[in-house]
Amino acid sequence: MITAAGRTVRTGLLVLAAVAVPALPIAGFARGADGLAAVAAGLVLVALFFTASKVAVSVVARRMRAMVLPAALGTYLMKTIILGVLLVTLEGSDSVDLIAFSWAVLVGVLGWVGAELWVATHTRVPFYDPDAFRARGDSPHDTLNT
């Protein structure tokens, strides 16, 4: 896995764990056992969706760089379809507290995106392909000074 992706997954999971610490007792107190289960399911869903995307895209990036965009869009499409089917299936269900589930997913997504933003702003990665410059005999510094 690409280092930044691994770091993002670890940081995202830590943020979700930090969200779960207050969210689970609050949901249990306010919404009962159904709310507790719904919050746990919502946070697990967020963890699975984001982790699967990061792993899939990083594997594709390592093997076929030209396919990164299709891989990212494909995983996004699959997650959207799965979430849509899940929500349509759960609509009107009394077995899952949809309010608690929705709040858990919303807070989990915001937390994970915040973790991704933090990792992206604190990881040094080149914004160019160093191999492409070496192949041409150029240096990225030469293009900056012209």
Per-position pLDDT tens, the chain of length 146:
455 688 889 999 999 999 999 999 999 999 989 999 999 999 999 999 999 999 998 889 888 888 889 999 999 999 999 988 988 888 887 878 889 999 999 999 999 999 999 998 888 766 666 677 676 665 555 555 55
pTM confidence score: 0.78
Residue range(s) defining the domain that contains residue 45:
3-144
Q: Could you tell me what percentage of the chain is helix, strand and coil, using 3-state DSSP and rounding each to the nearest 5?
A: 85, 0, 15
Looking at the structure of the chain, the number of domains it has is 1
What is the distance between the terminal CA atoms of the chain, rounded to a whole angstrom?
36
pLDDT computed for residue 11 by the predictor: 94
